[in-house]
Amino acid sequence: MNLGQRQCAVDEGAERFRFAPVFAANVQRLRKQAKINKKRFALMVGIGRPFLDKIEDGTANPRLDVMVRIADALDTTPQELLNSPDNEIDEESIRRGSPSFLDMRHTRPL
């Protein structure tokens, strides 16, 4: 991996982590609304319970494929899980023209 690729990977990680609190709140809210306990939900998504705990407390940085599986299990889209409750889109990202996960909702995992 050259320096340019490494910087891109770091930038993408920072971009994902920036959405962690919103993602965490939405996952927890929708899981509870669906009356699914954490153990069952972790099994449905194919992740461990400790990782789900980290996702829901906003300290995890899940890969896109995990985000898609979570969205599928909650009968929603990754985009909806990344939207803040007031449905505001990150205006700073729009001004910068930088991609966000909202743009990646149609990508397929490798």
User: pLDDT tens for residues 73-100?
Assistant: 999 999 999 998 765 444 544 444 444 4
- The highest-confidence range among 5-9, 29-33, 93-97, by mean pLDDT, is 29-33
The residue to which tokens 């990977």 are assigned: 9
54-79 confidence digits (pLDDT tens): 999 999 989 999 999 999 999 999 99
Give the whole-angstrom CA distance, residue 20 versus residue 61. Answer: 7
Question: Using CA atoms, how far apart are residues 70 and 62, in angstroms rounded to an integer?
Answer: 10
CATH class of 3-104: mainly alpha
Higher pLDDT, residue 12 or 8:
12
What does the pLDDT average to over 15-27? Answer: 85
Please tell me the pTM assigned to this model.
Answer: 0.65
SS3 (DSSP) at 106:
coil
Query: Higher-confidence residue: 99 or 25?
Result: 25
